[in-house]
């Protein structure tokens, strides 16, 4: 780890000011950033911890949406969103391991946009709104390829608004060593249609499987997906699995998510 300064502001405004410095870096739960620093793959001059900002924490139901503060841990989401949005809570309860769930935050996960992270599938699959200190971004505009998002330098995710679906579920096959999704699919059924988001599979990060959405919007049943496949061209092929295997798993996981949706 290289040397850096550390600040822990108490408000979003203070955090935004602190992040205005060159080479300043926001720190959520640190589940990705700290190992990166330890390997000297990043050298920020200043870390701005977002864990001391009370207004960025917590889960609440506001009308037809669940609103989650950007600094809320996975464990808190798993516990406090369970009644309002069980599919989302279930996803949060299965991220990584207990240590990751106790430290990692939804804002950190979405800002990092790891192609094998769980939360991007929930956000894109729910058509969530990413709220920052300066604007609101629709999930469809937010995810822009692996590790790439619509966030500007110094922009902080303060909360995420998830419209509550009629039914939803998350199906995941974990890479056995790291427990990251090898492939995972989030399915959510809304009054105006079905959304299907896939993580872990594509070289371009999380994506919506539009053919599946169209089929399921007409008939929300696993067999509505019979015969549908995703092309393996853009799938990740690595030491954990070939592109063809991942492509196959997208179909299997999508069906399982539909079957499990409640």
Give the residue carrying structure tokens 């279930």.
Answer: 90
- Shortest separation between residue 238's beta carbon and another protein, angstroms: 8
Does residue 228 bind another protein (CB under 8 A)?
Answer: no
Does residue 198 bind another protein (CB under 8 A)?
Answer: no
Cβ burial of 117 (10 Å; 0-12, 13-18, 19+) is: buried
Interface residue with another protein among 134, 148, 166, 178 (CB under 8 A) is 178
State which residue, 4 or 245, has the beta carbon closest to another protein. Answer: 245
State which residue, 129 or 247, has the beta carbon closest to another protein. Answer: 247
State which residue, 72 or 109, has the beta carbon closest to another protein. Answer: 109
Does residue 239 bind another protein (CB under 8 A)?
Answer: yes
DSSP string, 231-259: -STTB--BTTB-HHHHHHHHHHHHHHHHH
Does residue 173 bind another protein (CB under 8 A)?
Answer: yes
State which residue, 150 or 252, has the beta carbon closest to another protein. Answer: 252
- Shortest separation between residue 96's beta carbon and another protein, angstroms: 11
Does residue 249 bind another protein (CB under 8 A)?
Answer: yes
Does residue 241 bind another protein (CB under 8 A)?
Answer: yes
State which residue, 178 or 210, has the beta carbon closest to another protein. Answer: 178
Tell me which stretch binds another protein (CB under 8 A): 104-112, 197-205, 207-215, 246-254. Answer: 246-254
Cβ burial of 176 (10 Å; 0-12, 13-18, 19+) is: exposed
Does residue 63 bind another protein (CB under 8 A)?
Answer: no
- Shortest separation between residue 240's beta carbon and another protein, angstroms: 8
Length of the chain counted residue by residue:
262
- Shortest separation between residue 121's beta carbon and another protein, angstroms: 17
| Nearest of 101, 97, 251, 102 to residue 185 by alpha carbon | 251
| Nearest of 255, 194, 262, 193 to residue 230 by alpha carbon | 255
Give the residue carrying structure tokens 């998002």.
Answer: 149
Interface residue with another protein among 22, 177, 192, 227 (CB under 8 A) is 177
The DSSP output letter for 100 is: H
- Shortest separation between residue 178's beta carbon and another protein, angstroms: 5
User: In angstroms, rounded to a whole number, what is the distance separating the alpha carbons of residues 143 and 75?
Assistant: 24
Contacts of 112 (CB under 8 A, 6+ apart): 32, 33, 147
Cβ burial of 186 (10 Å; 0-12, 13-18, 19+) is: buried
State which residue, 176 or 191, has the beta carbon closest to another protein. Answer: 176
Instruction: Report the interface residues with another protein, using CB under 8 A.
Output: 173, 176-178, 239-242, 245, 248-249, 252
């Amino acid at each position: 780890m290289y040397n850096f300064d550390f600040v822990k502001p108490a408000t979003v405004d203070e955090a935004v000011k602190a992040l205005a410095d060159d080479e300043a870096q926001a720190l959520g739960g640190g589940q990705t950033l700290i190992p990166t620093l330890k390997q000297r793959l990043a050298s920020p001059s200043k870390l701005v911890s977002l864990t001391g900002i009370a207004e960025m924490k917590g889960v609440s139901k506001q009308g037809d949406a669940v609103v989650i503060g950007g600094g809320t841990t996975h464990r808190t989401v798993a516990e406090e969103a369970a009644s309002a949005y069980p599919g989302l809570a279930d996803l949060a309860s299965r991220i990584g391991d207990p240590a990751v769930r106790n430290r990692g935050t939804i804002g950190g996960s979405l800002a990092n946009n790891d192609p094998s992270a769980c939360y991007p599938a929930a956000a894109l699959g729910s058509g969530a709104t990413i709220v920052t200190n300066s604007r609101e971004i629709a999930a469809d505009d937010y995810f822009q390829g692996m590790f790439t998002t619509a966030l500007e330098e110094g922009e902080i995710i303060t909360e995420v608004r998830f419209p509550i679906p009629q039914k939803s579920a998350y199906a995941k096959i974990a890479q056995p060593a790291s427990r990251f999704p090898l492939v995972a699919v989030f399915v959510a059924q809304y009054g105006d249609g079905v959304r299907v988001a896939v993580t872990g599979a594509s070289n371009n990060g999380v994506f919506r499987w539009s053919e599946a959405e169209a089929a399921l919007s007409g008939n929300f049943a696993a067999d509505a997906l019979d015969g549908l496949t995703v092309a393996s061209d853009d799938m990740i092929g690595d030491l954990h699995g070939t592109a063809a295997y991942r492509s196959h798993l997208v179909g299997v996981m999508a069906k399982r998510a539909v079957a499990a949706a409640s």
